[in-house]
C-alpha cells in the first residue's frame, strides 16, 4: 500500500513538474482558470494584481477586465499606420483595433515583454507613426534606442566569417537547448500557479495576510498601503530610494539626460523611415492620486518643459488628476477603463493635430 501511495505521489509530482515546464500547457490552463469564477478558478488577478500579492481582504474588489469601448470618431480620411510599443496599460485595455486611433487604418502592436525583435513593416501609402508607451516607473531604462531595437528591429548581422558564424550558431543552439532543458525561467511561478492559485485557497491566504498585516505589521515587500488606507501601490513607485518612484529625488541634470535620451530615440527612428515619433509616459498612480501628502518629483512635466525637448510627449497626468480616484483600481497597479479612455482622448487630440 505504501509503495502504491509513493508511486502515486511520485507520478503526481512528475506530472506537475513536466506540465509546469510547458509554456503551451500553462497558457491553456491559465486561460481556462481565469474564466472560471468558482473555487477552481484563478483568483490572483481577478481582484487586482496588488490584491493578488497581498490577499488583504478589504481590497478584494472585482476588477473589470473588458476593453475600453471604441470611441465615436469623426469620419476622416485614413492617413496613418500606427506602430506601437507598449505595456499592460495598453494591451489590457485596448484590443488594438485601428478604430481606436484617429485617422488610423492599421496598427502593429509589440509588447515590451516580447522575447525577440519583431520586424516593423513601414506603410508606403500612409504616414508611419511610432508610439512608444510605458509607465513612469520603467521609462528610464526602456525608452532607449537599444531597448526599443530589441523589440522592433532585428540585430545587425555579425561580421564573423560564415564558418565562424556557423560554429557560433551551433554552440548557441546547444547552449539554448541545455538552458531550456535543465532550467525553466518561469518554473517557480508556474508551479505556484498550478498548486496554489485557486479560489479554494483564498480564505487561508486572507487569514494568513490578516495575521501578518494587522498583528505583525508585515506586508509583501512589493506592495504599500496608502496613507488613507484606500489604495494599494507598488513599492517601487512610492519608496523615494527607488529610481522608478514618483518621489525619487531627480536633479535638473538628470532630467536633461532623459530629454537627450528621448531625443536620441526620436532622431534614430525618424532616420529609419518613421514620419513621427510620439512618446507617452503613464504617470505612477501614486503621483496622481495624491494620497501621500508630499510633493512628487514632477519628472514628466519637467521633461515636457525642458528647453532641449524636441518631441511629442503625451502625459495624461493633469487630466487623470481630475476626480482621480475614479480613474484607478484601488487594488491594482493600473488605471481603470475610465482612466484609459482619458488617455486615448488626449492621444487622439495629438493625432488630429499632426
Domain of residue 259, CATH code: 3.40.50
Radius of gyration of the chain (CA): 23
| pLDDT at residue 260, as a whole number | 98
85 is a domain residue = yes
Q: Are 13 and 7 in contact (CB under 8 A)?
A: no
Q: Are 284 and 136 in contact (CB under 8 A)?
A: yes
Tally Cβ neighbours within 10 Å of residue 239: 15
d(CA 316, CA 339): 9
With the CA atoms of 197, 201, 202 and 207 taken in that order, what torsion angle do they form, in degrees rounded to the nearest 10?
Answer: -130
| pLDDT at residue 176, as a whole number | 53
Backbone dihedral angles phi then psi of residue 110, each to the nearest 5 degrees: -130, 130
201 is a domain residue = no
Grid cell 508630499 — which residue? 294
104 is a domain residue = yes
| pLDDT at residue 238, as a whole number | 97
Classify the C-alpha dihedral 144-83-311-299 as positive or negative.
negative
284 is a domain residue = yes
| pLDDT at residue 299, as a whole number | 97
| pLDDT at residue 84, as a whole number | 98
Helical pair 2-20 and 23-35, crossing angle rounded to 10 deg: 90
What is the pTM (predicted TM-score) of this model?
0.81
Number of H helices and number of E strands within the chain?
15, 7
14 is a domain residue = no
Range of the domain at 130: 80-159+240-353
| pLDDT at residue 203, as a whole number | 75
d(CA 220, CA 264): 38
Report residue 302 as a C-alpha cell. Answer: 519637467
345 is a domain residue = yes
| pLDDT at residue 233, as a whole number | 97
| pLDDT at residue 45, as a whole number | 63
75 is a domain residue = no
Contacts of 213 (CB under 8 A, 6+ apart): 54, 56, 219
With the CA atoms of 213, 43, 233 and 26 taken in that order, what torsion angle do they form, in degrees rounded to the nearest 10?
Answer: 120
User: DSSP string of 35-49?
Assistant: H--STTS--TTTT-T
Number of domains in the chain: 1
| pLDDT at residue 15, as a whole number | 57
98 is a domain residue = yes
| pLDDT at residue 111, as a whole number | 95
Within 13 Å and on the Cβ side, how many CA atoms surround 304? 15
| pLDDT at residue 140, as a whole number | 96
List the pLDDT tens digit at each of the 354 positions of the chain.
777 766 665 655 565 555 455 556 555 655 555 555 555 556 666 788 898 889 888 998 888 889 999 998 777 789 999 999 999 999 999 999 999 999 999 999 999 999 889 999 999 999 999 999 999 999 999 999 999 999 998 444 334 444 444 455 555 555 554 455 444 555 555 555 555 566 666 777 777 777 778 787 788 899 999 999 999 999 999 999 999 999 999 999 999 999 999 999 999 999 999 999 999 999 999 999 999 999 999 999 999 999 999 999 999 999 999 999 999 999 999 999 999 999 999 999 999 999
Amino acid at each position: 500500500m505504501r509503495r502504491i501511495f509513493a508511486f502515486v505521489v511520485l507520478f503526481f509530482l512528475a506530472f506537475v513538474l513536466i506540465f509546469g515546464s510547458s509554456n503551451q500547457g500553462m497558457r491553456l490552463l491559465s486561460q481556462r482558470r481565469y474564466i472560471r469564477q468558482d473555487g477552481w478558478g484563478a483568483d490572483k488577478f481577478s481582484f487586482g494584481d496588488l490584491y493578488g500579492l497581498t490577499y488583504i481582504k478589504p481590497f478584494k474588489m472585482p476588477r473589470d477586465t473588458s476593453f475600453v469601448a471604441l470611441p465615436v470618431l469623426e469620419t476622416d480620411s485614413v492617413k496613418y499606420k500606427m506602430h506601437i510599443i507598449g505595456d499592460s496599460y495598453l494591451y489590457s485595455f485596448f484590443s488594438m483595433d485601428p478604430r481606436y486611433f484617429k485617422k488610423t487604418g492599421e496598427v502593429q502592436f509589440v509588447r515590451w515583454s516580447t522575447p525577440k525583435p519583431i520586424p516593423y513593416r513601414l506603410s508606403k501609402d500612409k504616414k508611419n507613426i511610432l508610439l512608444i508607451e510605458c509607465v513612469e516607473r520603467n521609462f528610464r531604462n526602456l525608452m532607449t534606442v537599444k531597448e526599443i531595437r530589441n523589440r522592433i528591429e532585428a540585430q545587425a548581422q555579425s561580421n564573423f566569417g560564415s564558418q565562424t558564424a556557423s560554429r557560433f550558431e551551433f554552440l548557441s543552439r546547444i547552449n539554448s537547448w541545455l538552458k531550456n532543458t535543465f532550467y525553466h525561467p518561469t518554473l517557480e511561478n508556474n508551479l505556484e500557479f498550478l498548486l496554489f492559485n485557486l479560489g479554494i485557497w483564498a480564505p487561508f491566504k486572507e487569514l494568513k495576510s490578516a495575521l501578518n498585516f494587522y498583528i505583525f505589521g508585515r506586508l509583501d515587500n512589493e506592495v504599500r498601503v496608502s496613507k488613507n488606507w484606500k489604495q494599494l501601490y507598488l513599492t517601487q513607485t512610492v519608496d523615494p530610494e527607488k529610481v522608478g518612484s514618483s518621489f525619487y529625488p531627480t536633479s535638473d541634470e538628470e532630467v536633461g539626460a532623459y530629454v537627450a535620451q528621448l531625443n536620441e530615440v526620436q532622431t534614430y527612428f525618424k532616420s529609419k523611415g518613421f514620419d513621427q515619433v510620439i512618446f507617452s509616459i503613464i504617470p505612477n498612480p501614486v503621483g496622481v492620486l495624491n494620497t501621500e501628502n508630499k510633493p512628487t518629483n514632477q519628472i514628466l512635466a519637467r521633461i515636457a518643459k525642458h528647453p532641449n525637448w524636441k518631441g511629442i510627449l503625451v502625459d495624461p497626468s493633469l487630466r487623470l488628476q481630475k476626480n482621480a480616484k475614479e480613474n484607478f483600481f484601488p487594488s491594482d497597479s493600473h488605471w481603470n477603463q475610465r482612466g484609459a479612455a482619458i488617455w486615448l482622448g488626449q492621444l487622439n487630440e495629438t493625432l488630429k493635430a499632426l
